[in-house]
Amino acid sequence: MTRELKSDEQIVRSVLKGNQEDFREIVDRYQKQIFIIGRRFFYNNDDASDFTQEVFIQAYKNLKSFRGLSPFRFWLFKIAYNLGINRKKSIRVEGELPVLLSSDHETPEKDHVSEELRYLVQKAVDTLPEKYRICIDFYFFMSMSHKEISKVTGFPVNTVKSHVLRAKRILKNTLQGTIAEEYHEL
């Protein structure tokens, strides 16, 4: 027997009708993406896990406020974004660098170059003004379009485009003369 795949909106309606266990499907669908957002804010797995749980608790508590004007995932990502911004303002977290680029694990030399590249790119991204960093994070690390970023952050689409372009220019200048200069996506 094949199970019918419900849309996010159908699941939300079901949860609001009293089928709270259906919310587990939302958690299963978006847990990884919310965790990634948490890693970009807090740089370590423990804080990102706590953040992920908090996002889903907030989403569940505020589910009645979802109006369905845009896809549910944008509403959920906006909760994550706002929570991350608010928590980041209230605490200063230091920790390990997030994994930005995958390592081939082919040779120790390639592993070393990959680690150095990861460090340089992360260090450069971290120096960006927050509005640019957020846009770059969503654009490159979450593969979101300018329009999707606009819906999550509340920035107009043209502002998002401008922030991404300016961030790329800053990163290119910051990384000039390093091994990261050859990172083609910038």
**Amino acid, res. 172:** K
The pTM is what? 0.62
Sorted by where each starts, the structural domains of the chain and their CATH numbers stand as 8-90 (1.10.1740.10), 108-180 (1.10.10.10)
179 contacts 116 by C-beta, under 8 angstroms:
yes
d(CA 64, CA 91): 29
Per-residue pLDDT of the chain (186 residues; tens, 9 = 90+): 445 688 989 999 999 999 999 999 999 999 999 998 888 787 788 998 999 999 999 999 999 999 888 889 889 998 998 898 888 766 543 433 444 444 444 567 666 666 777 778 778 888 888 889 888 888 887 778 899 888 888 899 999 999 999 999 998 888 888 777 665 554
